[in-house]
Amino acid sequence: MAKRVNMDYAAGKPVDPRAIDAMLPYMKTSYGNPSSLHVAGQEAKRALDEARIKVAELINAEKADSIIFTSGATESNNLAIKGAANRNRDRGTKIITSSVEHMSVVNPVKFLTTKGFEAVFLPVDKFGSVDLGSLEKELNDKTTLVSIVYANGEIGTIEPINEISKIVHANNIFLHVDATVASGQIPIDVQALGIDLLTVSSNDMYGPKGVGALYVKDGMRIEPLLHGGGQEKGLRSGTENIPSIVAFGKAAEIAKQEMQTHLEKLTKLRDRLIEGLIKPLPYTFLNGHPTNRLPDNVSVRYSFIEGESMLLSLEINGVSVSSGSACASKTLEPSHVLLATGLKHEEAHGSIMFSLGRDNSLEDVEYVIGLMPGIVNRLRSMSPLTPKELKV
């Protein structure tokens, strides 16, 4: 069989076999409802409590009860933003976020502007780091919530959450942090950082899809999106998805135990990939911060050519990647994250994203490095934008 290399782990990750093993009994034999008082119910309740402890430990939450299980990062972001804004409306109606957020933050914030809230999208520098001066300037007595991504999944830049938290809390405002792609990959300590609300995703740490969590700091008031039987401290009604939550807990436990190993390995692969992609080809640039970035993210842009045609060329050679470009997605606009870093539309269109995973090897990285010059030069030779002096 032809060689297949997956470098699109950001789009979806395999579930760790240990997490699958952990969840199976909760579908076959221990299928009780944690709200029931009988043995089967209590068995499920115990499993739920254990998973809650594991997720809490991963982010150093002050207590397990601060973890609310949800259907995933999109729900967690919605619950955090709408829940905090609505519940604390008496404190103000201004919400501040950044221009490099995931759509599951952007759109709830935009939605709230139709309900009488005011929204500000902070600018970022060319690396995608949130501008702290603008944050300070925008804070006023109407501001109730600031929502910033821990690390951006498209360009990998890790935001200065510690500094942001200090500024936000000096003004007595709540801070939500979307740690969807960061949690499980890099150490996060919600207590040390003083975070009020933190979004965590299961699949991003090799747990199943369709489950996630929101950390809600002890004493933080939010209102639920779903009303019903009052599960999850009344913040997320609906019978808990025990098998998936158990697997998520296991994935969180593994992520914590093995974090250092994966972090070191992925960082090495990442740095080799960046070097190997950029050095041999002129007009080739790294998107995002050169060092302050996630260990799994390599986002590169090539002048004069378009991302999807690179994606297809790699696909023909057995490599799966994602193009940050519009043409491969449902909307025709280039990524708002790339544009926020100051790129022109045509530059953003020439971007391609490699996201590494635990199963990638140095051999995979070298294979991709070897393919790119041929792919890029072929497309450049067909492009009307390629400058004459560039012989391809």
Partner 1 sequence: MYSDKVMEHFKNPQNTGEIPDADGVGTVGNPVCGDLMTMYIKVKDNRIEDIKFKTFGCGAAIATSSMTTEMAKGKTLEEALKITRADVASSLGGLPPVKMHCSNLASDALHAAIKDYYKKREAATEVKK
Whether residue 327 lies in the annotated active site = yes
| Residues lying near partner 1 in the complex (CB under 8 A) | 304-309, 312, 316, 325-328, 330, 332, 334, 344-346, 349, 381-385
Minimal distance, residue 298 CB to partner 1, in Å:
21
Distance between CA 158 and CA 130 in Å, rounded?
10
Minimal distance, residue 338 CB to partner 1, in Å:
12
Minimal distance, residue 251 CB to partner 1, in Å:
31
Beta carbon nearer to partner 1, 235 or 348: 348
Minimal distance, residue 377 CB to partner 1, in Å:
13
Minimal distance, residue 33 CB to partner 1, in Å:
42
Beta carbon nearer to partner 1, 271 or 308: 308
Beta carbon nearer to partner 1, 248 or 304: 304
Distance between CA 392 and CA 380 in Å, rounded?
7
Beta carbon nearer to partner 1, 269 or 375: 375
Distance between CA 312 and CA 370 in Å, rounded?
16
Q: Of the listed 103, 327, 382, 385, which one is catalytic?
A: 327
Minimal distance, residue 364 CB to partner 1, in Å:
23
Beta carbon nearer to partner 1, 132 or 328: 328
Beta carbon nearer to partner 1, 170 or 316: 316
| Three-class HEC string of the chain | CCCCEECECCCCCCCCHHHHHHHCHHHHCCCCCCCCCCHHHHHHHHHHHHHHHHHHHHCCCCCHHHEEEECCHHHHHHHHHHHHHHHCHHHCCEEEEECCCCHHHHHHHHHHHCCCCEEEEECECCCCCECHHHHHHHCCCCEEEEEEECECCCCCEECCHHHHHHHHHHCCCEEEEECCCCECCECCCHHHHCCCEEEEECHHHCCCCCCEEEEECCCCCCCCCCCCCCCHHHCCCCCCCHHHHHHHHHHHHHHHHHHHHHHHHHHHHHHHHHHHHHCCCCCEEEECCCCCECCCEEEEEECCCCHHHHHHHHHHCCEECECCCHHHCCCCCCCHHHHHCCCCHHHHHCEEEEECCCCCCHHHHHHHHHHHHHHHHHHHHHCCCCCCCCCC
* Residues forming the active site: 327
